[in-house]
Amino acid sequence: MDIILYPNQLKGEMTPPPSKSYLHRAIICASLAKGKSIIKNILIGDDIQKTIEAFRSLGVNIEYLDNQLIIESSGKLKFTDNHPIHCGESGSTMRFLIPILTNKKGSEFYGEKTLLSRPLDLYERIYAEQKNEFVRFEDYIYTEGEIKAQDYIINDDASSQFVSGILFALPLLKETSSIQLKKHFQSKKYINMTMMMLEKFGIEVIKHSELHFTIPGNQTYKPTDVTIESDFSQAAFFIVGAVLNGDITINHINKFSLQPDKNILNIIEDAGGEIEYIDQKIHVKKSTIELKEIDLAQIIDLGPILFLLSSQSKKSTLIKNFERLVYKESDRLNNMLKILDIMKVTYELNDHELIIDYNQDFSLSSVNSYNDHRIAMSLAIIATLSKKPTTIKNMEVINKSYPTFLNDLERLGIKIEYIS
């Protein structure tokens, strides 16, 4: 689906979708618990659907009713020989589930080529050390065996999703395990989100520090009801849209959230953006901003929208720790640089630093989403400032995480023409 987006100011009120990160975690915990759990405030994008389908294939009853997921499980997953798990393009589904679903009968994890090409080095190393099978084929990954209790040492460059996947599995083992993260490990806050969800479902993790924790064995997940808070990574598009070109009230914002992407609020305020906090709402309006430095280490998913925000900063912006952008749904680093080229934004890039200059006067006539949901939504936001209407190609990719994104844009006064 291609669209033509007509530039205009963003005005009105909106509610971001629930956190995809928390929803993945809640579905996993509920599926491992014996009994019935209810997960409230949900939005089923493609990635979440893959996690749901995986557990349904393993005998877990999951029903959607009145913006809720009702999950009933025996607490024991039912594996068939070489059990197939279809992950689509969901890195969260694959990385979270590999340690949980590896079993003696074998599991096959299928996915799109873009997913299967993404790094899984940590799991490959651990499986080799534990004498489990981990074999990459062209269109799937085969695992066999059982993850073992041990003292895990995780390198700096590993994704937090690997650590979360291990954390889901270890409490079910008989023995106690521990995890030690290296000093410069990135995305630590996502691990805190996992531990919070584990606690809600009755799992104890002993946290010695931000880098070291112990997981007692022989635990059981307990069913519970949880409400998923709004997603800051999705709210960020509208926060940026408002500060650049609008006046928006954003509902259901938890300013005490553990989500790392909550840092978008600090970035905007530190740059001079106006944000007013009203109970569980924020009011953001157009402001002149002067960004100085952005560190993406803990907020890598905000990379695309922050690149474009930087192009509208009155001062040049230094961006660092962007290297992991190349391992996302697309090579977000190079694809976003191509978009800056189209916008005639000048920048300087070396191995560790990117400096983006200011260019308020730009036109986007036709751009590619690169089949990447976060790039597609970032383009839609910056296109509201374009000097002419913008055609964005393959916009359907937003279904991966935020299928109602265009509806929310239209409610805020943006005219969108659907051309295919």
CA distance 178 to 397: 38
Q: Residues 46, 231, 301, 408: which is the catalytic one?
A: 301
Which whole-number Å values give the CA distances from 148 to 130, 166, 406, in the listed order? 7, 10, 45
Residues 48 and 173 in one domain: yes
Task: Report helix, strand or coil for 90.
Answer: coil
What are 185's two structure tokens? 């490990």
CA dihedral 254, 256, 260, 265 (to 10 degrees): 70
Residues 343 and 373 in one domain: yes
Q: End of a domain among 227, 242, 261?
A: 227
Residues 194 and 59 in one domain: yes
Residues 275 and 327 in one domain: yes
Residues 173 and 317 in one domain: no
The distance from CA 244 to its chain's CA centroid, rounded to whole angstroms, is: 24
Q: Whole-model pTM?
A: 0.93
* Residue 247 known to be catalytic: no
Residues 127 and 26 in one domain: yes
In 46-188, which ranges are E strands?
Answer: 61-65, 68-73, 83-86, 107-110, 133-136, 140-144, 151-154, 177-181
Task: Report helix, strand or coil for 368.
Answer: strand
Task: Report helix, strand or coil for 201.
Answer: coil
CB 41 within 8 A of CB 228: yes
The distance from CA 258 to its chain's CA centroid, rounded to whole angstroms, is: 14
Residues 325 and 218 in one domain: no
CA distance 4 to 246: 20
Residues 266 and 294 in one domain: yes
- 420 residues of the chain, pLDDT tens digit each: 999 999 999 999 999 999 999 999 999 999 999 999 999 999 999 999 999 999 999 999 999 998 999 999 999 999 999 999 999 999 999 999 999 999 999 999 999 998 998 889 999 999 999 999 999 999 999 999 999 999 999 986 778 899 999 999 999 999 999 999 988 787 788 999 999 999 999 999 999 998 999 999 999 999 999 999 999 999 999 999 999 999 999 999 998 999 999 999 999 999 999 999 998 999 999 999 999 899 999 999 999 999 999 999 999 999 999 999 998 889 999 999 999 999 999 999 988 899 999 998 999 989 999 999 999 999 999 999 999 999 999 999 999 999 999 999 999 999 999 997
Q: End of a domain among 200, 227, 254?
A: 227
Boundaries of domain holding 369: 3-17+230-418
Signed CA dihedral, 131, 137, 142, 148: sign only? positive
Residue 167's nearest CA partner among 192, 145, 146, 186 is 192
| Structural domains of the chain, count | 2
Residues 413 and 333 in one domain: yes
CB atoms under 10 Å from CB of 69, counted, come to: 23
86, burial (CB in 10 Å: exposed 0-12, middle 13-18, buried 19+): middle
Residue 107's nearest CA partner among 121, 122, 119, 123 is 123
CATH classification of the domain holding 166: 3.65.10.10
CA distance 360 to 343: 9
Residues 8 and 43 in one domain: no
Residues 203 and 280 in one domain: no
What are 231's two structure tokens? 């997603």
CA distance 401 to 374: 9
Q: End of a domain among 175, 206, 227?
A: 227
Within 8 A by CB and 6+ apart from 232, the residues are: 16, 19, 257, 259, 261, 262, 264
Residues 254 and 295 in one domain: yes
Within 8 A by CB and 6+ apart from 408, the residues are: 14, 238
CA distance 48 to 149: 28
CA distance 334 to 392: 18
Within 8 A by CB and 6+ apart from 308, the residues are: 240, 336, 339, 378, 379, 381, 382
